């Protein structure tokens, strides 16, 4: 009797442990980004990210823009300037678009 009781509790713990949470993703990035390349270090990248909080989505969009800008410019010596382009709400998340511009040092 006691072993059946323990077995039932273990099964219930395993079943409820595998349930999906309400929040599927904390932050998600948009893999698509737009590039304006005028040659040399004159490059602009517009990227976006979404999160539950504005601060998190802004930070994620900046990181995403910096990553894409670095993939285009490469190892050339440059500074990065960020500007918020747009913010909106999509699927219950706050989304932010950021323009990352490459500037000569």
Q: What is 27-39 written as a DSSP string?
A: EEE-S--EEEE-S
Burial (CB < 10 A; 0-12, 13-18, 19+), residue 102, is buried
- What is the domain range of residue 99? 23-103
Tokens of 72: 């285009």
Residue 18 is assigned to a structural domain of this protein? no
Report whether pLDDT(90) > 60. Answer: yes
pLDDT band (50, 70, 90) for residue 41? confident
What integer pLDDT is reported at residue 89 of this predicted model? 92
Residue 43 is assigned to a structural domain of this protein? yes
Report whether pLDDT(84) > 80. Answer: yes
Of 92, 36, 105, 38, the C-alpha closest to 65 is 36
Residue 17 is assigned to a structural domain of this protein? no
Residue 79 is assigned to a structural domain of this protein? yes
What integer pLDDT is reported at residue 17 of this predicted model? 61
Residue 58 is assigned to a structural domain of this protein? yes
Report whether pLDDT(23) > 90. Answer: no
- Total tally of structural domains belonging to the chain: 1
pLDDT digits (tens, 9 = 90+) for 43-74: 888 988 888 899 989 999 999 888 888 888 88
């Amino acid at each position: 009797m006691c072993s059946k009781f323990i077995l039932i509790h273990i099964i219930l713990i395993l079943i409820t442990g595998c349930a999906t949470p309400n929040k599927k993703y904390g932050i998600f990035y948009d893999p698509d980004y737009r590039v304006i390349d005028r040659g040399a270090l004159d490059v602009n990248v517009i990227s976006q990210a979404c999160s539950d909080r504005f601060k998190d989505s802004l930070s994620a969009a900046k990181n995403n823009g910096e990553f894409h800008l670095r993939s285009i410019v490469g190892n050339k010596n440059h500074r990065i300037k960020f500007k918020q382009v747009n913010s909106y709400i999509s699927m219950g998340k706050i989304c932010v678009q950021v323009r990352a511009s490459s500037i000569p040092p």
